[in-house]
Chains A and B, each alone.
Chain A
Amino acid sequence: MTTTHQTGPILSVRDLTVSFGRGAGRNIAVQDLSYDLLPGETLAIVGESGSGKSVSSMALLGLLPPRSANVESGTAMFQDKDLLSLPDAQLRGLRGDRITMIFQEPMTSLTPVLRIGRQLTEALIEHKGMGQADANARAREMLALVGLDEVDRRMRQFPHELSGGMRQRVMIAMAMAADPAILIADEPTTALDVTVQAQILDLMRDLQSRFGTSIILITHDMGVVAEMADRVVVMNRGRKVEEGPVADIFSNPQDHYTRKLLDAVPRLGAYATAAAPRSVVDKPTPVGKSLVHTEGMNKTFHEGGWFWKKGGGTAAMQDVGFDLNAAETLAIVGESGSGKSTTGRAVLRLLELDSGTVIVDGMDVRGYGKAGLRQARRQMQMIFQDPFASLNPRISAGRLVAEPMVIHGLASGGELQDRVEELFRRVGLEADHIRRFPHEFSGGQRQRLSIARALSVNPKLIVADEPTSALDVSVQAQVLELMLELQQSLGLAYLFISHDMAVVEEMAHRVAVMRRGRIVEIGPRKAVLNDPQHAYTRALLAAVPVPDPDRTRGTLPVIDAGTLPMGALAEVAPDHLVAQ
Chain B
Amino acid sequence: MARFILQRLMAALVTIWIATIAVTILIHLVPGDPVRIMYGSFQTTPEELEAIRVRLGLDQPIWRQYLMYLGRLLHGDFGNSIVGDQPVIDILMTRFPSTLALTLSSLFIAVVVGMSLGFLAAYKRGTWVDVSAMVLAIVGVSMPHFWLGLLLLFLFALQLQWLPVAGGDWRSLILPALTLGLANAAVLARLTRSAMIDIFDQDFVRTAHAKGLPKSIVLYRHALRSGLVPVVSMLGLQFAYLMGGAIVVENVFAWNGVGRLAIEAVFARDYPLIQGFILFFAIIVALASVVIDVAYAFLDPRIRYS
Instruction: Write the residues of chain A forming the contact surface with B, with a CB cutoff of 8 angstroms.
Output: 61, 63, 67, 92-97, 100-101, 103, 105, 108-114, 122-123, 126-127, 158, 160-161, 171, 174, 306
- 30 A-B residue pairings within 8 Å (CB atoms): A63-B206, A63-B209, A63-B210, A96-B210, A96-B213, A100-B210, A100-B211, A101-B207, A101-B210, A103-B206, A103-B210, A108-B203, A108-B204, A110-B207, A111-B204, A111-B208, A111-B221, A111-B222, A111-B225, A112-B204, A112-B302, A113-B229, A113-B300, A122-B221, A126-B211, A126-B212, A126-B213, A158-B301, A171-B207, A174-B211
Shortest CB–CB separation between residue B46 and chain A, in angstroms? Answer: 48
A151–B202 alpha-carbon span in the complex (Å): 27
A306–B11 alpha-carbon span in the complex (Å): 10
A123-B211 in contact (CB<8A): yes
Which of A96, A108, A306 meets B211, CB within 8 Å? A96
Shortest CB–CB separation between residue B216 and chain A, in angstroms? Answer: 11
A114–B209 alpha-carbon span in the complex (Å): 15
A103–B205 alpha-carbon span in the complex (Å): 12
Q: Which residues on the B side are within 8 Å of A67 (C-beta)? A: 126
B305 within 8 Å of A by Cβ? yes
Chain A residue nearest to B229 (CB atoms) is A113
Chain B residue nearest to A91 (CB atoms) is B212
Q: Which residues on the B side are within 8 Å of A63 (C-beta)? A: 206, 209-210
A123–B229 alpha-carbon span in the complex (Å): 25
Known: A94-B212, A113-B226, A114-B221. 12 other contacts (CB 8 A): A63-B206, A92-B213, A96-B210, A100-B211, A109-B207, A111-B222, A111-B226, A113-B229, A122-B221, A126-B213, A126-B214, A160-B305
A108–B225 alpha-carbon span in the complex (Å): 15
A161–B301 alpha-carbon span in the complex (Å): 10
Q: Which of B1-33 contact A (CB under 8 A)?
A: 7
Chain B residue nearest to A303 (CB atoms) is B306
Shortest CB–CB separation between residue A55 and chain B, in angstroms? Answer: 13
Chain B residue nearest to A306 (CB atoms) is B7
Q: Which residues on the B side are within 8 Å of A101 (C-beta)? A: 207, 210
Q: Which residues on the B side are within 8 Å of A97 (C-beta)? A: 212
Q: Which residues on the B side are within 8 Å of A113 (C-beta)? A: 225-226, 229, 299-301
A161–B214 alpha-carbon span in the complex (Å): 27
Instruction: Write the residues of chain B forming the contact surface with A, with a CB cutoff of 8 angstroms.
Output: 7, 126, 202-204, 206-214, 217, 221-222, 225-226, 229, 299-302, 305
Q: Which residues on the A side are within 8 Å of B213 (C-beta)? A: 92, 96, 122-123, 126
Q: Which of A103, A111, A127 has the most CB of B within 10 A?
A: A111
Chain B residue nearest to A88 (CB atoms) is B215
Q: Binding site of B, secondary structure by majority: helix, strand, loop or mixed? A: helix
A103-B203 in contact (CB<8A): yes
A306–B8 alpha-carbon span in the complex (Å): 11
A189–B208 alpha-carbon span in the complex (Å): 20
Q: Which residues on the B side are within 8 Å of A126 (C-beta)? A: 211-214, 217
A109–B208 alpha-carbon span in the complex (Å): 9
A112-B301 in contact (CB<8A): yes
B212-A92 in contact (CB<8A): yes
Q: Which residues on the A side are within 8 Å of B299 (C-beta)? A: 113
Shortest CB–CB separation between residue A345 and chain B, in angstroms? Answer: 25
A61–B212 alpha-carbon span in the complex (Å): 9
A158–B298 alpha-carbon span in the complex (Å): 13
Shortest CB–CB separation between residue B7 and chain A, in angstroms? Answer: 8
Chain A residue nearest to B200 (CB atoms) is A65
Q: Which residues on the A side are within 8 Å of B217 (C-beta)? A: 122, 126
B212-A109 in contact (CB<8A): no
Q: Which residues on the B side are within 8 Å of A103 (C-beta)? A: 203, 206-207, 210
Shortest CB–CB separation between residue A368 and chain B, in angstroms? Answer: 36
B126-A111 in contact (CB<8A): no
A114-B225 in contact (CB<8A): yes
Shortest CB–CB separation between residue A35 and chain B, in angstroms? Answer: 21
B212-A111 in contact (CB<8A): no
A91–B299 alpha-carbon span in the complex (Å): 32
Cβ-closest 10 pairs across A and B: A96-B212, A96-B211, A95-B212, A158-B301, A108-B203, A123-B211, A111-B204, A101-B210, A109-B203, A113-B225
Shortest CB–CB separation between residue B85 and chain A, in angstroms? Answer: 42
A123-B212 in contact (CB<8A): yes
A158-B305 in contact (CB<8A): yes
Chain A residue nearest to B217 (CB atoms) is A122
B211-A95 in contact (CB<8A): yes
Q: Which residues on the A side are within 8 Å of B226 (C-beta)? A: 111-113
With A93-B212, A158-B301 as given contacts, are A114 and B222 in contact (CB-CB < 8 Å)? yes
Chain A residue nearest to B226 (CB atoms) is A113
Shortest CB–CB separation between residue A542 and chain B, in angstroms? Answer: 31
Q: Which residues on the A side are within 8 Å of B212 (C-beta)? A: 92-97, 123, 126-127
Q: Which residues on the A side are within 8 Å of B221 (C-beta)? A: 111, 114, 122
Q: Which residues on the B side are within 8 Å of A61 (C-beta)? A: 210
Q: Which residues on the A side are within 8 Å of B214 (C-beta)? A: 92, 126
Q: Which residues on the A side are within 8 Å of B203 (C-beta)? A: 103, 105, 108-109
Shortest CB–CB separation between residue B245 and chain A, in angstroms? Answer: 31
A160–B304 alpha-carbon span in the complex (Å): 11
A103–B211 alpha-carbon span in the complex (Å): 12
B204-A110 in contact (CB<8A): yes
Chain B residue nearest to A89 (CB atoms) is B214
